[in-house]
Structure 1
Amino acid sequence: MGLKLAPVKLGWERRDNATYLRSGHALESHPETLGALLRSAAERAPERTFLAERAGDGLREVSYGEALSAAEGIGALLAEDDRGAVLVLSGNSVDHALLMLGSFLAGTAVAPVSVAYSTLSRDLGKLRHIVEKLRPGRVFVERREPFERALASDALRDLEVITGDELRSAMSRPVSEALRQREAKVTGDTTAKVLFTSGSTGTPKGVVNTHRMLTANQQMIAQLWPFLEAEPPVLVDWLPWSHTFGGNHNFNLVLRHAGTLLIDEGKPRPDLLSATLRNLKALPPTLYFNVPAGYSALVPQLERDRELREAFFSRLRVLFYAAAALPEDLWRRLSRLAEQSGNGELFMTTAWGSTETSPLATSAHFPLERAGNIGVPAPGVELKLVPQGDKLEVRVKGPSVMSGYLGERELSEAAFDEEGYYRIGDAVRLVDAEHPERGLLFDGRVAEDFKLSTGTWVSVGALRTGLLAATSPALQDIVLAGHDGEFIGVLAWLNAAGCAPIVGGELPVAELVNHPALLDHVRRGVEEWNADHPGSSTRIERLVFLTQPPDIDAGEITDKGYVNQRATLDARAAEVERLLGSSPETGVMVFG
């Protein structure tokens, strides 16, 4: 493979009906503040490009030396007129990044929230809830125009608004005594960020991320991927900073190793994907991070565009997925594409965690043959595996685990068990019960699984990934229905790009749902799945296509592409009734 990776070291024991796993690598000493990471990177590589973004036909680039100077100016503004936390409504940008860095220096908490909460939401309900909990003193928007409705709302109208132009004016401020004093008081326990969970399990909760949580997490990665010390990473990344994957894992990884981040204005959507493809050709990454929905959109483009494929894989060292299970079919197609591009030694891997764990808790820092293995605990992390029915619930303890949710005492207490392990709500399986060092397999969300009327449990996570692979590349995502019923039904969204080679060109979803070739492809895929998985807990009896995309107001989806099974079923009760009704209606596929 050629990459220098840490060897697997694992300690484990079984007691009191639970299995305990801990990394055999002790967490080494490290800087405790993000400001210290910025100053270290600026000292080591002052001229190296840190941040870049599209600006007209060119790029706006900021070096580490320039970033430190700008952050000090912004930090001076925040320190001299302390108004508390800064709420960020805008998406990823160089200015957004510099505001975060300035906040880190000044010891001011920054809270980036999903852009959709203030631009797509009809009632601004989630944004109002966030403001009530956070009580910010300032709000940042790159430009006022997209956010006028939110800024005029009763929740935000009394806050000081900082625009991109105003922020850039602050960047030239000299380092003040107020900033020096504030920065000297920043410790590992100082709040760096408050990240609000996307509401995939209910109302957004504010996760307090301290400086130590975030720097400890980067130290874990540095110990597991020691090659980064000699190879500063180059990333092209769209993942939103309102989520921990893009905002903590990826952004801080670049900062920790004095790498380069091209902020990708694209997204895995038909109207924005072209921007991502252009950026990947312009600056091929050395590490690439994405969610399964992103790979689902990207893979068909890599398969059809040789120039893109050769550029993308030209210097790629690591291909990484997280945030949801990757269908095995996508893993195989990515492996095949890498081999076709002469990059057969590409390290394809994943990790596992959550906003509450900053985010990495496990890492697969060893070669994998297939998707699903989330690795072993990271340095300093301990896992507790507790039987729950026929599942193993996994719980987490470590220096990067939060102490609680902002202003939510009861929720915070309920989030931890009697031994102080965080109840993350996920299930895992051991690859080999006698050799835990071989890793853990993600086994879905404990709360998503359901029983049929026979009492048989349906494992939603495994069934979802299996069915997506069986019908590949036609489906974007699915939701499984049948709670307390006699059979399993599927609500499915189509992948327009994936359907194109099946039907002979790209068509609107409204036409795809009735296209004979597409219907035949999906039917064959499901019937083959059923033949291989005939049991009631895996067999699919019915399927209906959804033509309306997931609704963020209803909590059906996050902006990183995670589809909430329960919220979708609740919001689409009419479609569920149509799917599961005693007499299937027109448009419902029935499998014999």
Structure 2
Amino acid sequence: MLTLIDLFHSFAERGDQTVFVNRTGVRRFTVTYREFHDLSLKMATLLEQNGVGEGDRVLIWGPNSSWWAVAYWGIILRGAIAVPVDFMSDLARADTIRGLTEARLVLQSRFKPDRITEGNTLLLEDLPYLLENVAPIGTIAGCLPDATAQLIYTSGTTGNPKGVILTHRNLIANVTQIHRQVPIITPAFRFLSLLPLSHMFEQMGGFFLPLYRGASVVYLGALKPSAIMDALKEEDIYVIMSVPRLMQLLRSTIERELEEKHLSGTFRLLTRLGIRLPKGGRRVMFYPVQRKFGANFVVFVSGGAALAPELFNFWDAFGFTVLEGYGLTETSPVLCVNTLEHQQAGSVGPPLPGVQLKIEDKQILARGDNVFPGYYRNEQATLEAFTPDGWFKTGDIGEIGPDGTLSIKGREKELIVTGSGVNVYPDELEAVLNKIQGVKESCVIGLERGGGEEVHAVLLLDGRGIAPEDIVGQANNSLDAMHQITGYTLWHEPEFPKTTTLKIKKFAVKEAVQKGPEGGDATVSSDSLIALLAKVTGTATGKIREDSLLVADLGLTSIDGVELVNFLEQEYRLDIEDSQVGAQTRVSDLRQIIAKRERVNRHDHFRFWTNRSFFRGVRRLVDTVFHAPLFRALVTLEVRGAAQLESLKGPIFFVANHLSYLDQPAIMFALPPKLRYQSATAAWEEFFFGDYHGLNRILRRLSYQYGTLLMNLFPLPQSQGFSGSLRFMGRLADAGVNILIFPEGEHSRSGKLLPFQMGLGIMVKALGIPVVPVKISGTDQVLPPGAHFPTKGKVRVTFGKPLSFRQETPEQIVELVRRAVETLG
């Protein structure tokens, strides 16, 4: 195997084996190897139709998903060059890279508030529809091993970023080198993808390697803790490619759960006891934690930044295997990794087979087939990156031990040299600061003070009110006199600026500190939260104040609210519910939500188990002996358009007008039994769980029990907290359950169709299932709103033709569905 084309030819033979799982946060979609193979060939045709030829550059700027993968492989099959850009990059950076590469086409995401408008562009989310009627490409481009496969642009501290050329030889070499060092992956393995595919660590370890071994990959819609833990619980994950910051995020989630259950002390005691046990014994001791990661979880692979020994020891104490590795984009990227037989805190392991390392003036030099040939259109940078005899200069300071394993001391450009000539490694000081109570995160930089650098700490506090002077003093008490922190600055953004692997952008922090008052406060030059609110609401940044109400002052609508939550989850990787953003929420409140990162404990009322076959049987029996005879005694039912439902396959979204409490049973009895008993109905949550008291409260709770068990109702709020119901609908759709909804939100007392609520468009867009419009008439005569007893009458239920939506906006969907219901006879 010499090229990525050779790897591609192995996909079709894997057939119906799952290759990708997309967890959107609402739905779960799977893709087989055969489907992936065929879609990639279609993608190559689509690129050809858009003027992309061999050697052209195609920029990919979007979140991880199977469609990112299809886009990437289509580019390779077309003989073009992929240019992945980190989804978290801003528009300026993405557009700069587009210009530097003269990209023929840009594939970007609708989930980015600012998008590239110049040149030829397509949306990744539109690929399912764009590829539907496209034929697979007839001829796959041929390529040599030394042909350029992709350009990865570094996050450079100043000026234009540098484009790292990676060839087919580089990538295939690293795939085979890693497999020889850690030969554990089988087709049964399932990887959880948490890092952007624009970063080589994730791309190599969590994309090429699984594809090489026939394994599968799970992609998440948002990298928030709850989504990660849900995927671990439900997807049988074997491997996580991670960075220290994400491992710390997972650690915080577990520690928070232990605190909530008052088990922190017990855990510390067990940890001390567990040190003496072998790893298998620790796995048994900490089974309650182990099971959160699934029965077959094998290993964390950590890279992208140095893993603090304390963090390694935390996961090791639970009995988890942590393989720390080391590499750079320029080395495709892996140079070293620990093995399953031996892991050591503070070491990144031995070099891979075929990789040579040496230390020269404390700097790590590397050589091997995985080392890149140079920077794109930058001869000077290429010359500076290599020694005269062809060794790549990594820019990292390290030591090779007697056993051949490598330890990283830090980046050469981040090394602080004090006025006394002492070398200070920032990572070591940050590890000390981050353990101190009151510190959420720290960044240690060197500030020029004439004749040397000052060791300066930039502190992001956690809101406990601990004085920064005390924090610095406590840190210095545990540091050597030659490595003392001599100054500090407070950082007031919710997060430090981060790279794609969640490393702090120290150059950006340093620039902000140098601009701010000495020993005072600092922040980034532009407020990312204000900019995001301005984009979502259309309000000028200058008019957004800390005390601005999101709804009243900024005009945040229900659709804006869902969009805002999505952007916040992507930008800050935190759990946030739309129920936290209401009419009384101010900008300052939102900032506090981001800073605290506290997960909301949802108290929902969903009952998915009512969709099991036993309860469907119960409903069928109760309908036969009670509901149906009672309904027929009151109603003469006329059904129109039912014949076209016979050919439909679920799940289906039934959308109806609303006249009476009798609407739901009327529609259910109008449906064929195969659809009726595979359907659930959204009901107004506030009707059951509003602020009621006494007998009224009891009756409404009893009606909820009756409705969920015997009519398969589920709650849908009209005020806030919509996202929980949307996720529940996604579970229903994944299980093939049809959904009935009345989007007017209330009974029409005049019989005239009321406006549909905008949430309908969000539901249809997120669920991606056909919509069947339903028109009902006569129920308001049998059981008028406010009436306590029904009268006999005639009811008509009319089913319209199914509607499928693709690239329409939520607003357009609402209008089209409403018009379809209104025009039914």
Once the 2 structures are TM-superposed, how far is the Cα of residue 407 of structure 1 from its aligned partner? Answer: 1.2
Q: Which entry has the higher C-alpha Rg, 1 or 2?
A: 2
Cα 1:207–1:310 shift into 2, 3 Å: same
- Partner SS for 2:112: helix
Count matched residues.
Answer: 488
Q: What is the distance in 2 between the residues matched to 1:201 and 1:309?
A: 44
Report the TM-score when normalising by structure 2. 0.55
2:44 partner SS: helix
Provide the residue aligned with 1:220 in structure 2.
177
Provide the secondary structure at the position in 2 that maps to 1:150. Answer: coil
Distance 2:371 2:137 in 1: 34
In 1: Cα distance, 2:195 partner to 2:132 partner = 26
Contact kept? 1:348, 1:367, Cα under 8 Å? no
Structure 1 residue 366: Cα displacement:
5.2
Q: Distance in 2 between matches of 1:215 and 1:55?
A: 30
CA positional deviation for 1:575: 4.4
1:443 to 409, 412, 415: 409
Q: 1:402 to 1:37 in 2, by over 3 A?
A: same
Q: Does 1:321 align with 2:262?
A: no
- Contact 2:446–2:453 at 8 Å: present in 1 too? no
Aligned match of 1:413 in 372, 375, 383? 383
The answer as to whether partners of 1:488 and 1:541 remain within 8 angstroms in 2 is yes
Deviations 1:352-394 (A, max 9, x none): 111111100112225556432011211111112102xxxx100
- Kept after mapping to 1: 8 A contact 2:444/2:455: no
After TM superposition, give the deviation of residue 273 of structure 1 in Å: 2.9
- For 1:136 and 1:279, locate their aligned partners in 2 and report how far apart those are by CA, in whole Å: 35
Cα distance, 1:172–1:424 mapped onto 2, change above 3 Å: farther
2:303, 2:375 → 1: CA distance? Answer: 23
1:544: Cα distance to partner? Answer: 3.7
State the SS of the aligned residue for 2:94.
helix
Quote how far apart the aligned CAs of 1:347 are: 2.4
2:442/2:459 contact within 8 Å kept: yes
Q: In the alignment, is the contact (CA less than 8 A) between 1:237 and 1:246 conserved in 2?
A: yes
* Among candidates 87, 109, 113, match of residue 85 of structure 2: 113
Question: What are the superposed Cα offsets for residues 501-555 of structure 1, whole Å, 9 maximum, x if unpaired?
Answer: xxxxxxxxxxx0xx34x449x947x55543342322x22344443111457xxxx
Equivalence map 1:279-428=2 (5 Å): 279-305=231-257, 310-312=291-293, 314-336=295-317, 338=318, 344=319, 346-365=320-339, 367-368=341-342, 370-387=344-361, 392-428=362-398
Q: Report if aligned partners of 2:366, 2:391 keep a CA contact under 8 Å in 1.
A: yes
Letter matched to residue 410 of structure 2: G
In structure 2, C-alpha distance between the alignment counterparts of 1:369 and 1:215, rounded to whole Å:
26
| Other-structure match for 2:477 | 531
Check whether the contact 1:383–1:394 (CA below 8 A) recurs between aligned residues.
yes
- Partners of 2:19 and 2:216 within 8 A in 1: yes
User: Which consecutive residues of structure 1, in runs of 5 or more, have no partner in the other structure?
Assistant: 1-30, 339-343, 497-511, 581-592
1:493 equivalent in alignment to 2:474: no
The alpha-carbon distance between structure 1 residues 94 and 379, as it changes in their structure 2 partners (threshold 3 A), is same
Query: Alpha-carbon deviation of 1:430?
Result: 2.6
1:546 corresponds, among 491, 499, 514, to: 491
Following the alignment from structure 1 to structure 2, what is the Cα–Cα distance between the partners of residues 131 and 208? 15
Structure 1 counterpart of 2:213, one-letter code: H
Distance 1:473 1:174 in 2: 59
Question: Are 2:359 and 2:400, in contact at CA under 8 Å, matched by a contact in 1?
Answer: no
Report SS of the residue matched to 1:404: coil
User: Is the contact made by 2:241 and 2:300 (CA closer than 8 Å) also made in structure 1?
Assistant: yes
Counterpart of 2:46 (choices 77, 80, 103) is 77
2:166 equivalent to 1:209: yes
Aligned to 2:125: 164
CA-to-aligned-CA distance 1:205-255 (integer Å, 9 cap, x gap): 111111221111110111011222x46421111201121112233211111
Give the aligned residue type for 1:489: H
Give the Cα separation in 2 of the matches to 1:37 and 1:171. Answer: 25
2: distance between equivalents of 1:493 and 1:450?
21
**Partner residue of 1:49 out of 8, 18, 32:** 18
**Could you tell me how far apart the structure 2 residues matched to 1:486 and 1:39 are?**
55
1:329–1:472 distance in 2 versus 1, CA, 3 Å: farther
Aligned residues of 2:170 and 2:369 also touching (Cα < 8 A): yes
Q: Aligned letter for 2:168? A: H
CA distance in 2 between partners of 1:204 and 1:493 (Å): 28
- Partner residue of 1:134 out of 101, 108, 126: 101
Would you say the 8 A contact 2:398–2:410 is kept in 1?
yes
| Distance (whole Å) between structure 1 residues aligned to residue 257 and residue 216 of structure 2 | 26
Tell me which of 218, 235, 248 is aligned to 2:204: 248
SS at match of 1:117: coil
Q: Is contact 1:383-1:397 (8 Å) kept?
A: yes
Distance 2:121 2:446 in 1: 46
Once superposed, which parts of structure 1, at least 4 consecutive aligned residues long, lie more than 4 Å away?
306-309, 366-370, 484-487, 526-529
Partner amino acid, structure 1, of 2:499: T
Residues of 2 paired with 1:173 and 1:486: CA distance? Answer: 61
Over 3 Å counting, the alpha-carbon distance change for 1:565 and 1:142 in structure 2 is closer
Evaluate the alpha carbon distance shift between residue 579 and residue 421 of structure 1 in structure 2; reply closer, same or farther with a 3 A threshold. farther
CA distance in 1, matches of 2:308, 2:207: 26
TM-score under structure 1 normalisation?
0.76
Give distance in 2, aligned partners of 1:61 and 1:298. 26
**Alignment partner of 1:188 is 2:155:** no
Aligned partner letter, 1:533: L
Shift of 1:451: 1.7
Instruction: Give the Cα separation in 1 of the matches to 2:501 and 2:480.
Output: 33
Residues 567 and 419 (structure 1), Cα distance of their counterparts in 2 relative to 1, 3 Å cut: farther
Pairwise CA RMSD: 2.7
| 1:99 is aligned to 2:44 | no
Q: Is the 8 A contact 1:133 1:407 kept in 2?
A: no
Contact 1:139–1:161 under 8 Å retained in 2: yes
CA deviation after TM superposition for structure 1 residue 168, in Å:
4.0
Q: Distance in 2 between matches of 1:219 and 1:364?
A: 16
- Letter of the 1:463 counterpart: L
* Residues in 1 aligned to 2:227 and 2:409: alpha-carbon distance in whole angstroms: 34
The amino acid that maps onto 2:65 is: S
Mapped partners of 2:505, 2:499: distance in 1: 8
Report the equivalent of 1:577.
Answer: 518
Which of 424, 427, 430 is the matching residue for 1:458? 424
Q: Contact conserved, 1:49 with 1:63, CA < 8 A, in 2?
A: yes
Q: C-alpha deviations, 1:320-339, integer Å up to 9, x for none?
A: 21111122222222222x2x
